[in-house]
Amino acid sequence: MTWHRPVLAATSRSLKLMPSRSIPDIQIVPTRTTKKSAQNERDPYTPQPTDNRETNAEEGPARFEQFHCRTQSSVTDATLVKVVGSVTDLRSRRVDEFMQARSLAPKSQRAYRQDLQRFRDWTQSNWSEVTPRQIAQFKHYLLRLDPETDKRVLSDATVSRTLGTLKNFYGFLFRSRYVSHDPTTEVARPKLKEPTAQNLKSDELEQVFQAAAKSHLPSRNLALIWVLLHGLRAGEVSALNLSDYDGQRLTIRSAKADSKGVVPLTPVAVVALSAYLEWRQLQGEILQPTSPVFVSHSRRNQGDRLSYDGIRKVVESISLTTGLDIHAHQFRHTFATNLVLKGMNPYHVMTLTRHKSVQSFRRYTKAADQVAAEAAFNEVGGI
């Protein structure tokens, strides 16, 4: 046995030389380069292959938690994967943390998760491994055409929303130091056309009221249409309780983006709503402050709160009867547009519709401007 560099071994009494053998040189060979390069060359329409490094559900959790507790947030996900090896689905964990950090309504949460799931279905790359090129390829994938119909699979609005969600998510990851770079910064969202008001004309409204009056629940459906025509969203109408109605106005306590407020009702709307509530009492129902303003009268959900889906079905039934292509939100558009057309101060209209964005409200003033311009043109007799 030959002696090489002395190696010190501490004992309780003394230090003594320990023999060591020659250690061969170790050559470090980079890994995964070929795989990653091949991944980036894949067809953007084809979902990325699965990477199984993150899906070990047995060993990963305990090792990850122990490592993460020591390092806190100073280590990126890429480092975690390298050090820990097999880690449970970090992608799901990061999405959950992102949702917890934001104050979103349940409907918005579902939309955010759907957008992020669309990206996760397309690629199995860890969040820290995604490159700007992959984001560009994903955008190309979202803009794809259906080979059978030769039409876009997703609308520009859906594509823009999905990319916007991904940008917000990566902003969170970067600020939280889970990733060292944001791959979404160089990819632009598609430009959307300025939205237009989808208001109903007076003759179309007349057809709607006639269809509601001839429906199997005329008192409820007439009252429902009148309330929708006061700018309330379908979800807000569904959430109304009798305590929110004082005989003249409605108080919206549960609304999108916390857009709560009070909306006065026209006399004809008050008559329609009061008639419906009286009809319910005649049916033997005991009305309480916590009772829903609108209830279902179907065999399956008799007496239950009329849901968002229930309101949608009522409007769909009227649409089939009249032959008009309408949806519940069009009544909100009609309310705002008609008030602006009648000369009401747009600021006051925004107060009643509870819009927080002037840009979003612009669609209604634009429609009113067009009508006013045509009226002025006709008044002077044209050219």
DSSP letter string, 17-62: EE-------------SHHHHHHHHTS-TTSPPPP-GGG--TTTHHH
Q: Are residues 350 and 212 in the same domain?
A: yes
- Tell me the pLDDT tens digit for each residue of 307-350: 999 999 999 999 999 999 888 988 988 888 888 888 788 888 88
* pLDDT mean over 357-373: 75
Among 57-71, 97-111, 288-302, name the one with the lowest average pLDDT: 57-71
- Tell me the pLDDT tens digit for each residue of 290-303: 999 999 988 888 88
Question: CA 223 from chain center: how many Å?
Answer: 30
CATH of the domain at 221: 1.10.443.10
Q: Based on the structure, what is the number of domains in the chain?
A: 2
134 vs 90 pLDDT, higher one: 134
* pLDDT mean over 16-30: 44
User: Mean pLDDT over all residues of the chain?
Assistant: 78
371 vs 276 pLDDT, higher one: 276
Asked whether residue 14 is domain-assigned, the answer is: no
Q: How far apart are CA 176 and CA 181, in angstroms?
A: 11
Q: Are residues 164 and 230 in the same domain?
A: no
As given in the structure block, the two tokens for residue 373 are 């311009």
* pLDDT mean over 173-188: 93
Q: How far apart are CA 259 and CA 354, in angstroms?
A: 6
Q: Are residues 211 and 149 in the same domain?
A: no
Whose CA is closest to 208, among 315, 312, 295, 296? 315
Q: Are residues 217 and 299 in the same domain?
A: yes
- Tell me the pLDDT tens digit for each residue of 28-38: 444 444 444 44
pLDDT given for residue 47 in this prediction: 59
Domain that holds residue 136: 49-175
Asked whether residue 26 is domain-assigned, the answer is: no
* pLDDT mean over 56-65: 39
Asked whether residue 60 is domain-assigned, the answer is: yes
As given in the structure block, the two tokens for residue 192 are 């959307």
Read off the pLDDT band of 73 (50, 70, 90).
very low
246 vs 41 pLDDT, higher one: 246
